[in-house]
């Protein structure tokens, strides 16, 4: 069933933008962590952990947030704003692997590897080093404007020599790694990654002016668009431009894509540390898109930005499914979304209105494809062909799956749910994943494209 659904999804053409970067990966072990703590002293690290810096301005900010992530086992991303710290990182770590990073880049490579009909990827900065991170597939295109016409070229043929490159440093950690912080012994509870994301002036999230008039033409060619990277917008730039400017442009992009055809747009929401920016992204963009995907940490942050602080606090503190369901309902109602997808370590959930063209069973199949694809990626490190879906099919559901389903059914019974379609599935969880980078993006890509494929089959696209 999952295999057939993937076959259908592969007939689609998808556009994805905006963020790509080079991921430089470090596989952490106890020795590396212990050395970092020793360099600054456990007491200083602990004090800085209490301060919980939101950005990395100096090395101690990094160590404190890293140890915090290790202690909770939660995947985190913290912006590095001080460009001068790059040499500190490069002298302290050997990067084990360099590969494609950024949601748009990861999603484009995944769709191209899955042999989708046509994958159009746009990223405003495409240096050679960045272009080379794209897979060499004949179905993958980068839009270029030449002589007033839209041309589709492979990214390898479309790079621009002088574009800036964004390098994100990714620290992968494994469950069970044990280290000492002064007198405290810490064991990492879950495998995950800590991302130091480069947030520099030269990197912007936008569509270059020459390409903008061609977005309606791109919209006509495709069945759906997956947009992401808004977390990379800064509130202010030294040239006077600000988040309002870039979000106005982002709104125009969505409307232009939809101008000739009501193409479905999915927004993949990633962690935005700054509350003001988070709020702006939600209020400006959610009302214009059809579908939104996010992970467990985000739903609470989003609710808090919308003013539901009590509910957000409950989700942060207790992490109960019933609160997530309630929060999801609020979000699709207030933003009038067609579809909301929330992925967590133990389950994935869809929340839609009752008039959604797909049945709950069909929505469940879509999530099933999503978790199976993510399990394939977690097992292999990357998905390089459509038949690798079979790897994920043999990964069992996590052991909390039954409990999760029970709590969900309970929540559905207790709350008013007739106006909604609510489905949940437990995740297929790989105990020792090769890598956890891009798993959320894989889930959202599998979910949204299979959703589109079923809509198309019903004539609802």
Identify which range of 32-40, 54-62, 254-262, 338-346 contacts ligand AMP by CB under 6 A.
338-346
Q: Cβ distance 184 to 39 under 8 Å?
A: no
Identify which range of 202-210, 350-358, 424-432, 445-453 contacts ligand AMP by CB under 6 A.
424-432
Shortest separation between residue 15's beta carbon and ligand AMP, angstroms = 21
Identify which range of 49-57, 85-93, 240-248, 342-350 contacts ligand AMP by CB under 6 A.
342-350
Q: Which listed residue (197, 436, 445, 449) binds ligand AMP by CB under 6 A?
A: 436
Which of 105, 165, 107 has its CA nearest to residue 133? Answer: 105
Choice between 92 and 364, CB closer to ligand AMP? 364
Going edge to edge, which strands form the sheet with 167-173? Answer: 76-80, 192-198, 167-173, 21-27, 97-101
440 touches ligand AMP by CB under 6 A: yes
Cis amide linkage into residue 18, ω under 30° from 0:
yes
Rounded to whole angstroms, the Cα distance separating 184 from 194 reads 21
Shortest separation between residue 105's beta carbon and ligand AMP, angstroms = 14
Rounded to whole angstroms, the Cα distance separating 154 from 443 reads 25
Choice between 123 and 444, CB closer to ligand AMP? 444
Choice between 130 and 231, CB closer to ligand AMP? 231
Q: Which listed residue (312, 430, 452, 455) binds ligand AMP by CB under 6 A?
A: 430
Choice between 69 and 131, CB closer to ligand AMP? 69
Q: Please report, as residue ranges, which positions from 138 to 197 form the binding site for ligand AMP (by CB under 6 A).
A: none
Determine the size of the site formed for ligand AMP (CB under 6 A): 16
Shortest separation between residue 196's beta carbon and ligand AMP, angstroms = 16
**441 a catalytic residue:** yes
Identify which range of 102-110, 167-175, 275-283, 339-347 contacts ligand AMP by CB under 6 A.
339-347
Which of 289, 201, 306 has its CA nearest to residue 246? Answer: 201
Q: Which pairs from 317-324 meet CB under 8 Å and 24+ separation?
A: 320/407, 321/347, 321/404, 321/407, 321/408, 321/411, 321/424, 322/407, 322/410, 322/411, 322/414, 322/415, 324/296, 324/299, 324/349
To which residue do tokens 């106890």 refer? 30
Identify which range of 93-101, 208-216, 328-336, 436-444 contacts ligand AMP by CB under 6 A.
436-444
Q: Please report, as residue ranges, which positions from 355 to 384 form the binding site for ligand AMP (by CB under 6 A).
A: 374-375, 378
The end-to-end CA distance of the chain, in Å, is 21
Q: Which of 23, 61, 295, 441 is catalytic?
A: 441
Choice between 13 and 228, CB closer to ligand AMP? 228
Q: Which listed residue (61, 118, 290, 295) binds ligand AMP by CB under 6 A?
A: 295
Q: Cβ distance 26 to 171 under 8 Å?
A: yes
B/e letters for 32-67, b = 16+ CB within 10 Å, e = fewer, are: bbeebbeeeeeeebeebbeeebeebeebbbbbbbbb
Rounded to whole angstroms, the Cα distance separating 84 from 82 reads 5
429 touches ligand AMP by CB under 6 A: yes
Q: Which listed residue (33, 439, 453, 454) binds ligand AMP by CB under 6 A?
A: 439
Residues that bind ligand AMP (CB under 6 A): 75, 295, 343-345, 374-375, 378, 427, 429-430, 433, 436, 439-440, 443
**Which positions are catalytic?**
441
């Amino acid at each position: 069933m999952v295999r057939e659904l993937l076959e259908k999804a592969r007939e689609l053409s998808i556009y994805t933008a905006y963020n790509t970067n080079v991921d430089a990966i470090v596989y952490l072990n106890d020795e590396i962590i212990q050395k970092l703590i020793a360099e600054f002293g456990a007491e200083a690290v602990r004090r800085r952990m209490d301060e919980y810096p939101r950005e990395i301005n100096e090395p101690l900010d990094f160590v404190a947030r890293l140890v915090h992530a290790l202690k909770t086992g939660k995947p985190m991303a913290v912006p590095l704003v001080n460009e001068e710290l790059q040499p500190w990182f490069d002298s302290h770590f050997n990067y084990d692997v360099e590969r494609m990073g950024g949601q748009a880049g990861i999603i484009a490579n995944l769709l191209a590897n899955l042999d989708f009909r046509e994958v159009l990827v746009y990223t405003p900065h495409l240096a050679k080093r960045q272009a080379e991170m794209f897979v060499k597939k004949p179905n993958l295109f980068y839009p270029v404007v030449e002589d007033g016409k839209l041309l589709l070229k492979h990214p390898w043929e479309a790079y621009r020599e002088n574009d800036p490159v964004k390098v994100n440093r990714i620290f992968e950690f494994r469950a069970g790694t044990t280290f000492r912080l002064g007198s405290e012994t810490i064991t990492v509870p879950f495998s995950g990654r800590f991302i130091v994301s480069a947030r520099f002036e030269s990197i912007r999230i936008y569509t270059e002016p020459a390409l903008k008039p061609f977005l309606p033409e791109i919209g006509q060619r495709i069945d759906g668009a997956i947009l992401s990277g808004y977390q990379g917008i800064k509130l202010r730039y030294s040239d006077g431009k600000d988040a309002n400017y870039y979000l106005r442009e982002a709104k125009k992009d969505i409307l232009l894509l939809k101008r000739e055809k009501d193409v479905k747009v999915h927004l993949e929401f990633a962690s935005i540390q700054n509350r003001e920016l988070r709020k702006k992204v939600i209020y400006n963009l959610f009302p214009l898109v059809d579908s939104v995907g996010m992970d467990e940490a985000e739903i609470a942050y989003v609710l808090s930005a919308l003013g539901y602080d009590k509910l957000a606090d409950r989700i942060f503190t207790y992490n109960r499914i019933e609160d997530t369901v309630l929060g999801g309902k609020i979000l699709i109602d207030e933003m009038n979304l067609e579809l909301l997808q929330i992925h967590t370590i133990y389950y994935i959930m869809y929340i839609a209105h009752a008039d959604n063209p797909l049945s709950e069973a069909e929505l469940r199949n879509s999530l099933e494809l999503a978790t199976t694809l993510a399990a394939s990626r977690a097992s292999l490190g990357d998905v390089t062909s459509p038949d690798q879906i079979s790897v994920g099919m043999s990964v069992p559901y996590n052991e909390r799956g039954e409990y999760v389903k029970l709590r969900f059914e309970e929540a559905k019974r207790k709350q008013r749910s007739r106006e909604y379609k609510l489905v949940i599935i437990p995740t297929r969880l790989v105990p020792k994943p090769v890598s956890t980078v891009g798993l959320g993006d894989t889930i959202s890509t599998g979910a949204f494209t299979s959703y589109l494929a079923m809509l198309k089959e019903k004539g609802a696209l």
